[in-house]
Chains A and B, each alone.
Chain A
């Protein structure tokens, strides 16, 4: 508790504006201000400063608002197109994966036959089969991730 009533009054005056004070403190402050010209002047000057701050008027140019609306509309459209592209990409990927899974047994046999005819070790043609199956999916995931990273950087 501050011993100097004037210091306390100044502190409470500012505090009441910044974060509020208890009713008992407000009551004490009101009583003190009634009898103290110096603290009243301090309170009034704070009030003047705040009034001045609140009275400031800033104009926004209509051109800025218009330009912002255009940019926003363009961005919404761009994102909509981007979303359609991504949907198309994922649908293609899903289709390709379904086809890949469905045709895997036959493709496996083709790879085995080619490897056998070419006299390749089993590991090599099996690796070839794995790449044939995994590379398109990896490419699609890479494309999606790169786009996502670009979005994060731009946004």
Chain B
């Protein structure tokens, strides 16, 4: 037990050191670090944006904008939270700002009905070797996800793909715990029912 606590403490301390190093490098706007971060988080950030917006082109635009904003706002990262949680918050705020300029409804703008949303269901159809095209199950999932509200898709991705804790999801989405939980419960149930119905 004592050994486990020591291991946990060591891990936590090492993570804090890493975060502090990241904080300092972000304040310096270290180009090497930024390049490494882009490499490291490219897949996860893009996937998050893709699920949030439901559109590959839009997600690509936001992907670039997010990193530019990371440079501009790097000094605001204090290392208290995991970097990815802060990164996703930055990305999310960008999307929300963009949508507010267009329409005041926020993320609901990215929710479409099944028939009218070919974009999310074609997330990766641009590349011939992608898994979506190859796997029928993935295709079904994409179609199902497209029908869910963007806010629900978002929490599902953060919880079950990013393995974020509920607290981290709260931080990214800015929603209270009760809302995060209810979105997760509803989303998981809807996902399950729709996938079963589609099979």
A residues sitting closer than 8 Å to B (CB atoms) are 14-15, 17-19, 45-46, 48-50, 52-61, 64-65, 67-69, 71-73, 75-76, 79-80, 151, 154-155
Contact = CB atoms under 8 A, between A and B. Distances in A.
A48 B181 CA distance: 20
Given A52-B141, A52-B195, A65-B42, A59 B29 contact: no
Interface of B is mostly: helix
A60 to B, nearest CB: 5
B9 to A, nearest CB: 22
Contacts of A57: 124, 130-132, 138
A80 B72 CA distance: 11
A116 B181 CA distance: 79
Given A14-B185, A48-B195, A68 B141 contact: no
Interface of B: 29, 31, 34-35, 38-39, 42-43, 46-47, 50, 60, 63-64, 67-69, 71-73, 123-124, 127, 130-132, 135, 137-138, 140-142, 156-157, 159-161, 166, 181, 184-185, 188-189, 191-192, 195-196
Contacts of A79: 29, 71-72
Contacts of B46: 58, 60, 64
A64 B188 contact: no
Contacts of A67: 64
Q: Which of A50, A72, A80 has the most CB of B within 10 A?
A: A72
Contacts of A48: 192, 195
B73 A49 contact: no
